[in-house]
A = this chain, B = another copy of it.
C-alpha cells in the first residue's frame, strides 16, 4: 500500500497545508488531532506579537478597540466556515461544559415554562461524559427527567432511536453530531426535524465535527449548538468553546450564569441585571481573549481550503484507513468499531481489540499517538489539514506490530 499512499498524497490538493503545522516534518505519527489539534506554525508568532503589541501596547484600550468584539467576530467566522450559520448566532464563550450547561438550562427552563409537561431531556447513553453528567445534574436540580437513548457503541443516536425517545414530554434533545467514540455521523437535518415534530428543542454537540465535517445549522433549522475549538480548529489545550443560538430563540432564552458581560449595558454597571439583546446574553465573565487567538490561524487555513474540500480529504483518509485496517489489522482480530459507510462517519474511527489499552501504551513509546477509549478502543483521528496518507499508513503498520506484540 506504500505506493497507493504516496499516490494519494501526490494527488491531494490540500497536501501543502500539512507543512503549516508544527511537527509535521518529524517521523511522529499523530492520530489524535480530534482530541488536541497540532498548532499551526504561525501561532507562536501570533501569540508573541499579541503579548508585545496588543496586550502590552494597547493595554486596557484593547478592549474598546478590538477585544470586546472578538468573541463575536471569531464566532461568526466559525459559523460561516464550519457551521452553516449566518452571522450573529455564534460566539466564543466558556468551556464546552459550561456553555452546554448554560444553553441546556436556558432551553429546559423555557420549554417547561411554556408547557409544564415538558420536563424530559433526551440524551444518548453513550454520549461524551460531560454531556451525560451535565444532563444528570441539571435534571436533579430542576426536577426534570433524563430519557437515556440506548446506543450500540459502534454507532450513535440515529433517526429510529430518536423517534422512539421523543414525545409530548420532551423539552430538549442533546445530540452529538459526530460520536466521540465511534465517529458515527448523525443526520443533522433529519434528527432536528424529528425533535421538532415532537415539539422539542435540539442542542447539538459539535465537538467532533467542527472543522472537519460540514455542519448546516441554519438549513437544519437547529436551535442550539456548542462545540470545541481545540480539536479540528487547533485552538490549543483548553481553548474556549463556541455557542450557537438561532436568531429566533435569542430573545426568549436566558441562561443562569448572570455576569457583567451578559448584561444589556456592560459598563453602566446598573443595579439590576437585564440580559443583552443578541448573543451577548449567553456570555457571563470577561471573554478569554488570549485563549481565543490561536484558533484564528487554523481558520485562515480552513477558509483557504474550503470545508467541502476538507471533508473530501477527511473521507479519503478514513476510507484509506479502513482499507488498510481490513488488509493488515482484521487478520489480527481487530474489528472496526465505527460505521463502514463514510456518509455515516466523521473524521475519526475506532479499532477494537481486547489488547488495545496495552497497544496504545506501546504505540506512544514508539511515537505513534492515537488515543484509547474504553472498551478496547483505539481511536484514530485523522485531522484533514495536518495528516497525510503516508503518515496514516505508517501509523497503522505500527498498530499491527503492536497488536502482534501484545496479543
Interface residues of A (CB under 8 A from B): 21-23, 28, 30, 32, 35-36, 38-39, 43-45, 47-49, 51-52, 55-57, 59-63, 67, 94-98, 101, 125, 128-130, 132-134, 136-138, 141, 230, 235-241, 256-263, 268-273, 284-292, 294, 364, 369, 371, 373-374
A selection of 30 A-B contacts at a CB cut-off of 8 Å is: A23-B59, A28-B59, A30-B59, A36-B55, A39-B52, A44-B47, A44-B48, A48-B48, A55-B236, A55-B237, A63-B237, A67-B238, A94-B98, A95-B259, A96-B285, A97-B285, A98-B259, A101-B256, A129-B259, A133-B258, A133-B263, A133-B273, A134-B258, A137-B273, A236-B290, A237-B290, A238-B286, A238-B292, A269-B373, A290-B294
Give this chain's copy count: 2
Structural contact, B22 and A260, CB atoms closer than 8 A: no
Minimum Cβ distance to chain B for residue A126 (Å): 10
Q: Which residues of chain B come closer than 8 Å to A55, judged between CB atoms?
A: 22, 36, 39, 236-237
Structural contact, A129 and B96, CB atoms closer than 8 A: no
User: Which B-chain residue is minimally distant from A261 (CB atoms)?
Assistant: B97
Q: Which residues of chain B come closer than 8 Å to A290, judged between CB atoms?
A: 235-239, 290-291, 294
| Distance of A365 Cα from B230 Cα, bound (Å) | 38
Q: Which residues of chain B come closer than 8 Å to A49, judged between CB atoms?
A: 44
| Distance of A284 Cα from B51 Cα, bound (Å) | 28
Structural contact, B44 and A137, CB atoms closer than 8 A: no
| Distance of A32 Cα from B64 Cα, bound (Å) | 14
Other than the given A44-B47, A129-B263, 12 more pairs (CB < 8 A) read A32-B59, A39-B55, A51-B236, A62-B237, A97-B285, A101-B284, A129-B270, A130-B285, A133-B273, A137-B273, A240-B291, A288-B291
A-B residue pairs, 10 tightest by C-beta: A95-B285, A22-B56, A97-B259, A97-B285, A291-B291, A137-B258, A133-B273, A237-B289, A238-B288, A44-B48
Q: Which residues of chain B come closer than 8 Å to A45, judged between CB atoms?
A: 48
Structural contact, A285 and B47, CB atoms closer than 8 A: no
If A59-B30, A59-B38 touch, whether A238 touches B133 (CB-CB below 8 Å) is no
Structural contact, A257 and B101, CB atoms closer than 8 A: yes
Structural contact, A132 and B271, CB atoms closer than 8 A: yes
Q: Which residues of chain B come closer than 8 Å to A292, judged between CB atoms?
A: 238
Q: Which residues of chain B come closer than 8 Å to A289, judged between CB atoms?
A: 236-238
Structural contact, A60 and B32, CB atoms closer than 8 A: yes
Q: Which residues of chain B come closer than 8 Å to A273, judged between CB atoms?
A: 129, 132-133, 136-137
Q: Which residues of chain B come closer than 8 Å to A239, judged between CB atoms?
A: 288, 290
